[in-house]
Amino acid sequence: DFDLRYEGEVYKTIKAKTLWNEIVSHAYTSAEPGLLFWDTMKDYHNAEYCSPLVSTNPCAEQPLPDGGCCNLGAVNLERFVDENGNFKIEQFKETVVIATRFLDNVVDYNMDRHALEDQKKNAENDRRVGLGILGLGDMMVRMGIKYDSEDALQTIDQIMQIFRDTAYETSSDLAAEKGRFPNFDWNGYSKSKFVKNLPKSLQKKIKQNGVRNCTLTTVAPTGSGAIVSRVTSGVEPIFATSYKRRVKKNDGYGKTFNEYKVYHTIIGTLFGTDENLPDYVVTAHNIDPYFRVKMQGVIQKYIDSSISSTVNLAEDITVDTVADIYMTAYETGLKGITVYREGSREGILVSDKKEEKPATPTPDIESNLNIDLDVTPRAEKRPRVRPSQTAGVTRRIRTGEGTLYITINEDENGLCEVFTTIGKAGGNAAAQSEAISRLISLALRSGLDPHAIVRQLKGISGPNPTWEDGRLILSTPDAIGKAMDDYIQEREAMKAENRIEPPIDKPLITLAPEPGEDNGLMICTKCHNHNVVNEGGCLICRECGWSKCD
């Protein structure tokens, strides 16, 4: 039994195994939820004695207390590899020293710029900062080391140890220069398991001088920073060696594009092309997921906060694999884990497989001219009359325009009408949804296949996409289409013979048909290019820089 508690009070008791299976199943089908290992986070939190953790930021790399806020930066590892593939240790140390001092200065600079007094108070008392890394995948390529190799683990272990020790040495020096963070108390601070793993000499120095910042290291997604730096984000490997960039043409009313092949910067710089690459160049989907967790575990040893990262999985993996990865992450000492199974994000992933349509035969004009025209007048088609009483369900879906309530009703012949309510009566959103509902109802009572209506509605993009139960709702029409699709599938499942419940691996929502051309990546709802990847626990567009976490 597992108790659901809040502030010490038990609100509900459920079966732990049932909850675990639900989490794993949803992660498999929709890439959500990721997991936080809260006890591990609290055990390794340096300031748990004075500022206990209550939550994390959205990408989960920064656990925070009440009133806590992020102050993050990152060092580009790729810049510290020389032309011979050697890592420049001294230059790296100098940069970490400067970056640590810089972030500490940012705490003071932002002191009077916090939105809430609690934030200002916590920043003043804890001086929390989070220095991280990016460009790890590019660094490995420059050094000629395969990302998923023991050599890579040993290399990053040495680099991250230097990273951690230099940051903590610098913060202790700052404490001697400018003062400790006000909440510092060695008796409480030393209880952190992270502090206990610091070198004895460094612990002794901190006990004597104190430390300027309660926490110092964090690995954020660094999506925008990675785009600017043109390297891999956070601890991620290279996602793809090349991708296609689409640029709108001046003509064609914005519906036609020029398409270019763009190489990942390090690939283009070192090799010119992504054909016949050396064996040490590997991409995210070709890396064993368990090794990927192992790599993150090595880095986590030297990060006092947490790491935002995504383990990319092949589409054909099993639900049990997701469960094993989650369990391995916990046993490895990670503070959080997110997986993304290829194809599990619906509404934004567009298939590049096209069905070959049979060629339409060219009509023989002369033969057609010899055919007598049928001039018999046709009877006017009318929708069937709505019965006085119908039965159905009402569903609620959150959209970018507000909460949508959609009612789907049936008569003896099947689906017959749809009603929707959204926003205020008389508003633009309400008027549009009512118009869509009336046309759907008219089409249904005219005998049109409901699946055809769903295909037309799903996938329509709007200006304010939002997430609902692990799937992206692109617009109000998209929400109506998905609600109808859910209803149809449930009714069909109930009527099916010899089936108690749908198979686990069956998608909850069908994909919108007629896929367009793309490069196998997701489509950005802002710039509409197929350049969205799942990196660092966030959806990031390589084209325009949009990030779900911004």
Give, for 494, the enclosing helix (H) or strand (E): helix 476-495
What the block records as the tokens of 317 is: 């993996």
The pLDDT assigned to 335 comes to 95
pTM: 0.67
Tell me what pLDDT residue 501 has.
Answer: 45
For residue 417, give every residue at least 6 positions away whose Cβ sits within 8 Å of its Cβ, in sequence order, or none.
386, 390, 408, 409, 437, 440, 441, 444, 445
In tens, the pLDDT along 140-198 reads 999 999 999 999 999 999 999 999 999 999 999 999 999 999 999 999 999 999 999 99
Q: Give yes or no for residue 251 having a pLDDT over 60.
A: yes
d(CA 452, CA 301) in angstroms, rounded, equals: 53
Asked if the model's pLDDT at residue 408 lies above 50, the reply is yes
Place of tokens 């997430």: 467
Comparing CA positions, the residue from 284, 231, 214, 296 lying closest to residue 50 is 214
The reported pLDDT for the residue numbered 363 is: 42
Average pLDDT, the chain: 84
**Rounded mean pLDDT of 112-122?**
94
Q: What's the gap between Cα 91 and its chain centre?
A: 33
pLDDT at position 403 is 86
Residue 35 bridge partners (DSSP): 337
Q: Above 80 in pLDDT, residue 530?
A: no
Higher pLDDT, 362 or 276: 276
Q: Which of 452, 461, 480, 433 shows the shortest CA–CA distance to 347? A: 461
| Three-state DSSP class for residue 84 | coil
What single letter denotes the amino acid at residue 319?
V
d(C-alpha 209, C-alpha 172), whole Å: 6
Q: Where are the beta strands (DSSP E) in 343-460?
A: 391-399, 402-411, 414-422
Residues 497, 499, 500, CA angle at the centre, nearest 5°? 130
Between the alpha carbon of residue 331 and those of residues 150, 319, 326, 502, the distances in Å are 19, 19, 9, 32
Residue 529: per-residue pLDDT: 61
Length of the chain: 550
Where would I find the H helices in 423-475? 428-445, 450-457
Q: What are the b/e assignments for 450-482, b being 16+ CB within 10 Å?
A: beebbbebbbbbbeebeeeebbbbbbbbbbbbb
Q: If pLDDT is split at 50, 70 and 90, which confidence band does 524 have?
A: low
Q: CA 477, CA 512: separation in Å to the nearest integer? A: 13
For residue 101, give the 3-state DSSP assignment. helix
Tokens at 487, concatenated: 């209803």
In this prediction, residue 28 carries a pLDDT of: 92
CA distance 56 to 69: 9
The more confidently predicted of residues 302 and 58 is: 302
Q: Are 218 and 131 in contact (CB under 8 A)?
A: yes
pLDDT score recorded for residue 82? 94
Per-residue pLDDT band for 379 (boundaries 50, 70, 90) equals low
pLDDT of the residue at 298: 96
Average pLDDT over residues 57-73: 92
Q: pLDDT at position 174, please?
A: 98
Does residue 210 surpass a pLDDT of 80?
Answer: yes
Per the model's pLDDT, the better-predicted residue between 42 and 367 turns out to be: 42
Where are the chain's structural domains?
388-514
pLDDT at 521: 55
CA 180 to chain CA centroid, Å, is 37
**Whose CA is closest to 345, among 523, 481, 221?**
523
pLDDT at 424: 63
Per-residue pLDDT, 359: 44
Angle at 299 between CA 295 and CA 300, to 5 degrees: 110
347: pLDDT strictly greater than 70:
no
Residue 524's nearest CA partner among 536, 547, 541, 549 is 541
Residue 85 has pLDDT above 60, yes or no: yes
Enter the DSSP assignment of 28. H
The proportion of the chain whose per-residue pLDDT surpasses 70, expressed as a percent, equals 84
Q: Strands (DSSP E) along 234-385, which ranges?
A: 242-248, 257-263, 311-313, 336-337, 339-341
